[in-house]
Chains A and B, each alone.
Chain A
Amino acid sequence: MLYDLRVIRAVAIKDIRSALTERLFSSISIIVPLNFLLLFLLFVLTGGQAPTAIVMDDSGAYAQQFVSAMQGAHSFIIQQTTADEAQRLMAQGRIVAIVTVPADFDSALRDGRQVELPVLVNNLNVDYTNDIRRAVPLAITSFYAQAFPDQVVVQAMEDDVHSHDTDYIQYLSVSIVVISLLIGGLLQAGVSAAREYEAGTIKELLLAPASRWALEVGKLLGALALSVVSAAVVLGVVVLVLGVTPLYWSEVLGFTLLVMLTFIALGLLAGTLVRRRTSVIPLSIGISLPVFFISGAFGPVQWGTPALAVISQLQPVYYAIAVFQHAFHGFQTTPFSLSTNALVLAGFTVVIVLASATALRTRAMP
């Protein structure tokens, strides 16, 4: 037992020293996860709302109230312009739509006449086009409910499950923490394992009388220590820069360690199987992206198709996102309890480490 502990410690320290001398590969395991964080945040920040120009040919009270209703729809980035300026912006491709409030808007409403609201849509992207098609009628309904409360007789009486709303960025940034840990763990551990084969030093490990278990655990802990840096950077950006503060710090710390162990074990397995550092990098990214999209990164998977829900439950990222969403926001995104999700993750870690030790034994030498 003492001998095993000695081997674990020696392998972990050796891996840390080796990684620190190879700054290029070590920095990749920090830069790539951060890059993903920025990439997805840019996607969120640029993709949420449609830039729209409003041309106000009427400046009456109803017209102003209608503009307020549009702003409250959370679907537009609105700028008020003249008709000519709006056309120029449309021609330059800087806006998706022009909504014109006609000159007789207020008087027509007072007289009970029908009002035609011109909406010019640049329909080159159906996603944005549908946003406009949905949000303009929504703004009209909202405007009516405020301006003529007696005429709108159906009202939704909302009762919330959670005490607070969770912004899309807040939800997604937590999921991005998970993918960053996934990529960081895969790269750090994968490179560490593959380097042993590339340099031929795997023989030094395999020829030793030490148990394969001790070697694997040593490599696991070495990569874990190195991955703490990238995890701290990513969590720091999410908490300090984006202002997404965890509800339960103890859960964040505990689940970060558990999730890192799972993904590092996966990286060790990948590195042992592919044996080339240059193959580990594209493989890590190639695994991470599709897994991320099917794991409930953008919302609970159960709200999607049943087949997707089943597939996503077969891999650890699904459970990792669930425990992190609980740690940050306090809600459940899976049908399972928090402890069940954590236990499944721990089970994945044990199975993957076993598979990795088996790969080390069976793929030792031809």
Chain B
Amino acid sequence: MPLAIELRGLTKLFGALIALDALSLSVERGEIFGLLGPNGSGKTTTVNIVSGLSKPSAGEALVFGYDITREPRAVRAMLGSVPQETALYEELSAWDNMVFHADLYNVPSRGRSERILHLLDLVQLTERKSSRVSTFSGGMKRRLALARALLHEPQLLYLDEPTLGVDVQSRKALWDYILGLKSQGKTVLITTNYLEEANALCDRLAILDRGKLVAMDTPDLLKRRYGDAVIDLELDPSPSDRLVKGLRALPGVNAVAKHDGHIQITATGQPALAAQVISLVTRDTTDGDAGAALRSISQREPNLDEIFLRLTGSGLRD
């Protein structure tokens, strides 16, 4: 059975600019797959190629076994899309938007109204079905765009920043819908700048930077690769270089970052590391006049922001 998405050596050039550089990745059927990357990393270009809006300069893109350049209409029939700007006709009602979409995607006339009502009910917009979309809030528009994308029962759903500009309640509701899609066997491709969202929704993540794939794995494995634990210390006054050197020498420590009175330690496979750190700091304090007092210490799991920053060298919103 073919994969939901298979990209092989996908390259896209805009003049001299390499937007995608031999990108290869695959998305399994029934998977929620996240594409992460700073602006200009190639996320949108990748999705534009997968949905047939843009042609690759080189390489192949297959969607459920169909080559997007040779059979674009077959691919588009299986793809439901929720673009970031929603692409709704704001001057028309929610109902008219749904009916127009049904015609565009050749949804059978029999049972069409019932299906539209069901989907509007799912996204809690039944009462506003006759209202113009221009009167909707950002969250309502997102929900309507999601309902519209599901109308023709696509096998692959693409969501571009699904909760951008959406309030907390709507975001939770949207997450629930998206997770519900997985249980229906749909494949979902998400691009997002919210790492919390990627963590909550995605089975696997691909991190892109400057058109290249820099990492691809489950959120848990990505975090583990970065380190099991992060220990944050606050010292007064600023810690000595000797202490930093000592911390770096502890077994399992991957990295020690010092910033003013703060130290951040990333480590792998050392459950008792916190005790060793406290011991070292205390000894440093008592050994000499230059020692610093420990104000606070905390241990936590690394977050995706830190992984992202480490892999790409930049924040998501750069």
A14 and B100 form a contact (CB under 8 A): yes
Q: A22-B91, A200-B85, A201-B88 are in contact. Are A207 and B76 (CB under 8 A)?
A: yes
Residues 295-352 (chain A) with a chain B CB within 8 angstroms: none
A-B contact count (CB 8 A): 77
Q: Tell me which of B83, B92, B100 contacts A200 (CB under 8 A).
A: B83
Confirm or deny: A147 has a beta carbon within 8 angstroms of a beta carbon on chain B.
Answer: no
Contact with B along A230-249 (1 / 0, CB 8 A): 00000000000000000000
Nearest chain A CB to B111's CB is how many angstroms away? 16
Which residue of B is nearest A14, CB measured? B100
* Also in contact, A209 and B86, with CB within 8 A (given A18-B92, A203-B53): no
Q: What's the Cα separation between A202 and B86 when bound, in Å?
A: 11
Compute how far the CA of A22 lies from the CA of B77 in the bound complex, rounded to whole angstroms: 31
User: Quick check: is B210 within 8 A (CB to CB) of the other chain?
Assistant: no
Give the Cβ gap from B237 to chain A, nearest Cβ, in Å: 53
- Would you call A203 and B91 a contact (CB within 8 A)? no
Instruction: Specify which chain B residues have a CB less than 8 angstroms from the CB of A9 in the assembled complex.
Output: 103
A335 CA to B79 CA, complexed, in Å: 54
Chain B, interface residues (CB within 8 Å), range: 20 to 34
- Knowing A200-B85, A203-B87 touch, does A17 contact B92 (C-beta < 8 A)? yes
A307 to B74, CA, bound (A): 51
| Neighbouring A residues of B100 by C-beta, 8 Å | 10, 14, 204
Residues 63-98 of B at the A interface (beta carbon under 8 Å): 73-74, 76-77, 79, 81, 83, 85-92, 96
- Provide the A198-238 mask, 1 if CB < 8 A to any CB of B, else 0: 01111111111111000000000000000000000000000
Q: When chains A and B are docked, how far (Å) is the Cα of A6 from the Cα of B99? A: 12
Give chain B residues whose Cβ lies under 8 Å from the Cβ of A199.
87, 89-90
- Contact status B89-A210, CB under 8 Å: no
Q: How far is the CA of A22 from the CA of B74 in the complex (A)?
A: 35
Given contacts A7-B103, A9-B103, contact A14 B89 (CB under 8 A): yes
- In the complex, chain B residues whose CB is within 8 Å of the CB of A109: none
Q: Report chain B residues within 8 Å CB of A21.
A: 91-92, 132
User: A364-B53, A365-B48 are contacts. A207–B81 as well, Cβ < 8 Å?
Assistant: yes
Contacts of A202 in B (CB 8 A): 87
**CA gap between A21 and B91 in the complex, in Å:** 7
Which residue of B54, B79, B81, B103 contacts A365 across the interface (Cβ within 8 Å)? Answer: B54
Question: For residue A14, which residues in chain B have a CB less than 8 angstroms away from its CB?
Answer: 89, 92, 96, 100
Q: Tell me if A6 and B81 are in contact (CB < 8 A).
A: no
A7 and B87 form a contact (CB under 8 A): no
Within the complex, the shortest CB–CB distance from A22 to chain B, in Å, comes to: 7
Give the distance to chain A from B75, nearest Cβ to Cβ, in Å. 8
Q: How far is the CB of A215 from chain B (nearest CB, A)?
A: 9
CA distance A207 to B49 in the complex (A): 11
Q: Known interface pairs A200-B83, A201-B89. Does A209 touch B54 (Cβ–Cβ under 8 Å)?
A: no
Closest to B92 in A: A17
Residue of B nearest to A206 (CB): B53
Contact of B51 among A7, A18, A207 (CB under 8 A): A207
**A290 on the interface (CB 8 Å rule)?**
no
Q: Is B115 an interface residue (CB 8 A)?
A: no
Known: A203-B81, A365-B54. A208 touches B89 (CB 8 A): no
Q: With A203-B53, A203-B83 as known contacts, state yes or no: A10 contacts B89, CB within 8 Å.
A: no
Q: Complex: how many Å from CA A202 to CA B92?
A: 15
Rounded to whole angstroms, the CA-CA distance of A211 and B72 in the bound complex is: 10
Query: Could you say which residues of chain A place their CB within 8 Å of the CB of B81?
Result: 203, 207
B105 touches A204 (CB 8 A): no
> Which residue from chain A places its CB closest to the CB of B19 in the assembled complex?
A366
Q: Tell me the minimal C-beta distance from B94 to chain A in angstroms.
A: 14
A148 within 8 A of B: no
B224 sits at the interface (CB 8 A)? no
CB distance from A16 to the nearest CB of B (A): 11
Are A207's CB and B53's CB within 8 A? Answer: yes
Q: Are B89 and A209 neighbours in the complex by a CB distance under 8 Å? A: no
Complex formed: what's the CA distance from A200 to B84 in Å? Answer: 10
Within 66-88 of A, Cβ neighbours of B (below 8 Å) are at none
Those of B204-255 within 8 Å (CB) of chain A: none
Q: Which residues on the B side are within 8 Å of A200 (C-beta)?
A: 83, 85-87
When chains A and B are docked, how far (Å) is the Cα of A357 from the Cα of B90?
Answer: 25
Instruction: Give A203 to B82 CA distance when docked, in angstroms.
Output: 10
Query: Bound state CA distance, A9 and B109, in angstroms?
Result: 14
- Assess the A210–B87 pair: CB atoms within 8 A: no
Query: Does A3 have its Cβ within 8 Å of any Cβ on chain B?
Result: yes
Contact A10 B104 (CB under 8 A): yes
* A6: B residues at CB distance < 8 A: 103, 106
Q: Residue on A with the closest CB to B74?
A: A209
Flag whether B171 is at the interface (Cβ < 8 A): no
Q: List 20 A-B contacts (CB under 8 A).
A: A6-B103, A10-B104, A14-B96, A22-B91, A199-B87, A199-B89, A199-B90, A200-B83, A200-B87, A201-B87, A203-B83, A204-B87, A204-B101, A204-B104, A206-B52, A208-B76, A208-B101, A210-B106, A211-B73, A366-B14
User: Could you list which residues of chain B lie within 8 angstroms of chain A, going by C-beta atoms?
Assistant: 14, 45, 48, 51-54, 73-74, 76-77, 79, 81, 83, 85-92, 96, 99-101, 103-106, 132
Nearest 4 CB-CB pairings of A with B: A10-B103, A208-B104, A200-B85, A365-B53
Residues of chain A whose beta carbon lies under 8 Å from any beta carbon of chain B: 3, 6-7, 9-10, 14, 17-18, 21-22, 199-211, 364-366
**Other A-B pairs beyond A203-B53, A209-B76, A366-B54, 8, CB < 8 Å:** A18-B92, A21-B132, A200-B83, A203-B83, A205-B104, A207-B51, A207-B76, A210-B106
